[in-house]
Structure 1
């Protein structure tokens, strides 16, 4: 399937599903600029409330400690909030500050983490799609759609941290289908990650779209089942008749 901009008569079409599920981070907004801003806001807060910790750990050091926690506790891989809280608790303790500050520090980070900047095509395309299809979010991240400002377009947000397992585990995809009231074959999952989103959805029996921003369908690898490739959500919405 081409991701170029052909005339309308040649634009790719998809057999319409009955519902859509969406990944969030790097599908609807770029995640790393968001995380970097949130980490800086967190560090500024620590500078006021836990200066010893801020002196000992710059933003890069705090991220490195969070990655250490992730390596030490792979059983928490589905719960990014827990890993961030634990790494803050450890940073505060190592620096001799009050470890109880980990919770308010996390809330500062978490609020800043919700201040996302949507890709230019995202909101308009979602509004068009939501007029025709039920939408549900399926994310390994810890976004809050209400704080992001997109909750009115989605029936629900299934996050790995609350559900207990992360993509590509088929159980999280099946939970999305159950909450939509649709069979997996009638749900189209849209995401940027070829393994977590596309392969995970296909393994769970869903249809899949690889949202390959900045790329095209050319060179897309063959997987166990056919899938679609689009470079933005506007082209996807057009292909679905929206």
Structure 2
């Protein structure tokens, strides 16, 4: 047991791939996103989205995937005469709802409950 002068004051966790599988969560969010587009905006096919995504990605140094997804949606919507603001807002909501609902690794909840008894817990959030 560490001495009190060297005892940790808290524990910080990164989220993706620590508490849940980031790849699985992102795949689930991407499926929800494309399901929403197919259901609500059928002219924005996966093929149209992918080709527009490739064009948007190659035309900028930006690597903010939220901004890239929004720009791609806007261009797709405009190309098929949908209201771009509606397409962007509803589609991003569908993506983010699924992205914000990960499946925790087995045992994570119990572990966090045990840890919080002894010290503060914090999360690392990347923008």
Query: TM > 0.5 between the two?
Result: yes
TM-score by structure 2 length? Answer: 0.77
Aligned residue pairs, count: 123
Deviation, structure 1 residue 88: 2.1
Deviation, structure 1 residue 139: 2.1
Deviation, structure 1 residue 87: 2.7
1:66–1:83 Cα contact (<8 Å) kept = no
**Counterpart position of 2:40:** 49
Distance 1:39 1:68 in 2: 18
Deviation, structure 1 residue 17: 0.8
1:52–1:96 Cα contact (<8 Å) kept = no
Distance 1:104 1:42 in 2: 9
Distance 1:25 1:71 in 2: 29
TM-score by structure 1 length? Answer: 0.44
Shift of the 130–102 alpha-carbon distance from structure 1 to 2, 3 Å rule, reads same
**Counterpart position of 1:19:** 10
**Counterpart position of 1:109:** 95
Which blocks of at least 5 consecutive residues in structure 2 are unaligned? Answer: none
**Counterpart position of 2:21:** 30
SS at 2:73 equivalent: helix
CA RMSD of aligned residues (A): 2.9
